[in-house]
Amino acid sequence: MASFIYDFSLLTKPIHEALYHWLPPVWALIAEMTLIGLIFLLFYAVVGLFLVYAERKVCAFMQNRVGPNRVGPYGIFQTIADFIKLLMKELIMIKNSDKLLFNIAPFIVIIASFMAIAAIPFAKGLHAIDFDIGILYVIAVSSLGVVGVLLAGWSSNNKYSLIGAMRSGAQIVSYELSVGLSLITIVILAGTMQFSAIVEGQANGWFIFKGHIPAFIAFVLFLISSTAETNRGPFDLAEAESELTAGYHTEYSGIKFAFFFLAEYMNMFIVASIAATVFLGGWMPFHVSSWTGFNNIMDYIPPFVWYFGKTAFVIFLMMWFKWTFPRLRIDQLLTLEWKYLLPINLVNILVMAFIVLMGWHF
């Protein structure tokens, strides 16, 4: 009965067929899109709330505190209470701000992260769209968010916001390269850009193990540059609170601020998902070749547990960075990318290509 937790297409296929059976194709497509949109909206809210809670707890334990513990058991409803508060807050309009850009900026940020989530395979068969250029799509879409950040900083009519936005622009344009190149390293190994094929390719060993040292280097590079791309510490220069008060979202209040806040956590979730999918095997269980018994036990754990477990691990790593390291300076940030990460990445790609050509990978 519960076999669909191992293969979600058993659940989604009958729904798909039934819709196309009852409705004309256009309406069936619209119904499917609406359904998926609603599910993602719900998923988005739940993951956002959970991540905010998780970050507060993780950072609290790293700082000798207990974190939220008043609202509900262990404070699990704290974030819900916070979001209700944010919803009820006044939306302050700034005098002499560019009203149109000021209002659409948070939506651009949140739509960009919403689009990226569509391409991620959560479990076997649990996949909104399986592009054959999935990685390219995700890279393209996830860098759209910076447009919203730039608009927010520009339209706020606040110099702190503007500085934050300009920093963010320089940062994301630079680190986008490293993110792309480190993913391309794995694309060379996998031979495909399709997420489902990448995951299938890791059935007998995750790419981080299969690709020798270059894959590991690519993983580390991806982790660093994707942390920078999501504007999180130690790369949170765009909102450096000790320098720029709150950076690009200084002037936002209420639900618009909540959008920026939520988008930050969702972007973290998305890059962690990509790291988990591309390097750590996505929803593939951990297999050791020729250990049949061990592999069977691993297969009993449902794919989505594997997927969320790996994503949570990467997210924890990113939180660990944030609450340990001090912040970089803008010129050091760019130096790190252009003088260190990018050359390492380029050499790494060559090494990986060589290994693949010689057939030295597992």
- Residue number with CB closer to another protein (249 or 287): 249
User: From the CB of 174, what's the least distance to another protein, in Å?
Assistant: 15
CA distances in angstroms from 176 to 3, 35, 322, 334, listed in the order given:
40, 32, 20, 12
Q: What residues numbered 30-69 form the site for another protein, per CB under 8 A?
A: 59, 62-65
Smallest distance, Å, CB 337 to another protein? Answer: 14
CB 335 → another protein: shortest distance, Å?
A: 9
Stretch that binds another protein, among 73-81, 188-196, 288-296, 325-333 (CB under 8 A): 325-333
Binds another protein (CB under 8 A): choice among 234, 286, 298, 304: 234
Distance CA 298, CA 287 (A): 7
Applying CB under 8 A, among 56, 89, 210, 327 the residue interacting with another protein is: 327
Is residue 136 within 8 A of residue 176, CB to CB? The reply is: no
Burial (Cβ within 10 Å: 0-12, 13-18, ≥19) of residue 1: exposed
280: its two tokens: 């750590």
Instruction: Choose the stretch contacting another protein; rule: CB under 8 A; options: 1-9, 39-47, 290-298, 328-336.
Output: 328-336
CA dihedral 294, 300, 304, 307 (to 10 degrees): -10
The single residue among 329, 339, 346, 360 that binds another protein, judged by CB under 8 A, is 329
Minimum CB separation from another protein for residue 160, in Å?
Answer: 7
Does 324 interact with another protein (rule: CB under 8 A)? yes
The residue among 250, 249, 185, 196 whose CA lies nearest residue 221 is 185
Touching another protein, residues 132-171 (CB under 8 A): 159-160, 163, 167
Q: Which residues contact residue 151 at a Cβ distance below 8 angstroms, ignoring those fewer than 6 apart? A: 101, 102, 104, 105, 108, 165
- Helices assigned H by DSSP within the chain: 9-22, 25-62, 78-88, 99-117, 134-142, 145-155, 159-190, 195-200, 207-210, 212-229, 241-244, 254-278, 292-300, 303-322, 330-335, 342-358
Residues 207, 190: contact at Cβ < 8 Å? yes
In the complex with another protein, which residue's Cβ is closer, 127 or 232?
232
Minimum distance between the CB of residue 317 and another protein, rounded to whole angstroms? 16
Binding-site member from 188, 240, 275, 349 for another protein (CB under 8 A): 240
Stretch that binds another protein, among 77-85, 102-110, 179-187, 228-236 (CB under 8 A): 228-236
Structure tokens at 120: 């991620």
Question: Between residues 234 and 254, which has the closer beta carbon with respect to another protein?
Answer: 234
- CB closer to another protein out of 156 and 194: 156
- The answer to whether the beta carbons of residues 152 and 249 sit under 8 Å apart is yes
Task: Report residue 320 as tokens.
Answer: 């660990």
> Using CB under 8 A, which of the segments 42-50, 296-304, 311-319, 324-332 binds another protein?
324-332
Say whether residue 325 binds another protein (CB under 8 A): yes
332 binding another protein? (CB under 8 A):
yes
| Residue numbers at the binding site for another protein (CB under 8 A) | 59, 62-65, 159-160, 163, 167, 233-234, 236-237, 240-243, 245, 323-332
